[in-house]
Amino acid sequence: MARVSVDLPDRFPFETKLSIRIGDINYGGHLGNDTVLTLVHECRVQFLSHLGFSEVDVGGVGIIQVDAAVVYTSEAFYGETARVQVAAALEGRSSFDLLYRLSEPESDREIARVKTGIAFYNYESRKIARIPGDFRDAIAGLD
């Protein structure tokens, strides 16, 4: 069976640090696989806020997550800090990918690589929307 891979960019224009909490730990004593998506969700909210947006208002429309890929590269444990770096890649007329690198900041030990596919969505009409110009401009301003 082919393994999933997540190719990361050379540069991440945004990062945050998140604590690994006791509720993030699974029965194996390390960061739970489901919690990785929770951590990148928090990072996504902070990234959008940094750009002046929210998940429900990105230039007048919302966003929805349409897919996710996670590659786990090492364990993380209770009490550690995860540095979560993120970069955006516009895809087509109505979506973009967010690429994340989770690492332990002191050693730079990589914990996981994640890609989430995000579509712009008009919650009133319940339809996919085009990428707002304000978002395009904000992403272009990160380079």
pLDDT in tens, 36-86: 999 999 999 999 999 999 999 999 999 999 999 999 999 999 999 999 999
pLDDT at 15 exceeding the cut of 80: yes
- The answer as to whether 52 is a domain residue is yes
What does the DSSP assignment read for 91-143? ETTTEEEEEEEEEETTTTEEEEEEEEEEEEEETTTTEE-PPPHHHHHHHHTT-
Report the number of distinct structural domains present in the chain: 1
Mean pLDDT taken over the chain: 96
1 within some domain = no
Could you tell me the pTM of the whole model? 0.95
**What domain range is 85 assigned to?**
14-140
**Residue 6 forms part of a structural domain:** no
Indicate which CATH number applies to the domain containing 21: 3.10.129.10
Q: Strand pairing of 109-122 and 62-72?
A: antiparallel
Considering only the C-alpha atoms of the chain, give the largest distance between any 2 of them, rounded to a whole number of Å.
47
